[in-house]
Copies of this chain bind each other. A is one copy, B any other.
Amino acid sequence: MTKIEELDLQAQRIVRQAGKNAYEKMDNGYQVDTKTNYTDLVTTIDRENEQFINQQLRKIDPNSRILSEEGFGDKRILDLTGHIWIVDPIDGTMNFVKQHNNFAVMLALYIDGIPTLGYIVDVVNNHLYHGRHGEGVFKDDQQLTPPANLGLRESLLAMNRTLTLGDNPLLKRVAKEAMGLRMYGSAGIEMIGVLTGQLGGYISNLKPWDLAAGRMLAEELGLVVKSIDGSSINVLSSNLVLVATSQVSRDIRQIIN
């Protein structure tokens, strides 16, 4: 077994365990705080889960660096050399708190900037979406086939609230032209939608931990992951990202360019 294969197996175990932790505690036994405003939530489970994941990663890959949402990772990661693990201990915290559904645990490994391992746990439905660079994408044990290359008018599109209600008339046209518009409130759940063909595209402002795993898995399936203006992604910063079939991506660029 190669080193990467071994890390892959251990990372699968870690994220499944983190999903189980969140599932067991979601009905009670945690505290909710707000961060920047009343829509920006964090719970003690986000923090516990991040500490758990990071501790485990330090054990299995001691020389790596960790970029994680709640601040228990390494500070000021400014370059992509070596192993960088990117951690979202609960993606869709508002859904976790309000719905007890539609949230995810996400993890990715980038090696010298190359998206190499990716994991999204759909916690409530108990599915792990995972992939290794060049080796395909799996839902649990079952390999996913790349989604059909449909266009915007044949596809459901997910877009976040800020963009949908915002003042950009071109994005509004994109949202109107899609066959239908969806909004689930979790980048992980929306990424799974695109990976499985339930959505033809997803447009959102994404932080590194929202993007890293989904990008790895989407690119592995031949999907397009780009800044909305067509430029390439910097996974260390916030990006306005489109994840889509290549036809949806072309249709959208025709509207916004």
Interface residues of A (CB under 8 A from B): 38-39, 94-95, 98-101, 153, 155-156, 161, 164-165, 172, 175-176, 179-185, 193, 198
Contact = CB atoms under 8 A, between A and B. Distances in A.
A98 B161 contact: no
11 contacts: A38-B153, A94-B179, A94-B180, A98-B155, A98-B156, A98-B179, A164-B164, A164-B165, A182-B183, A183-B183, A184-B184
Contact of A181 (B95, B156, B164, B172): B164
Q: State the number of copies, please.
A: 2
The 3 A-B residue pairs with the shortest CB-CB distance, nearest first, are A183-B183, A99-B198, A161-B181
Contacts of A181: 161, 164-165, 183, 185
A39 B179 contact: yes
A193 B95 CA distance: 12
A94 B156 contact: yes
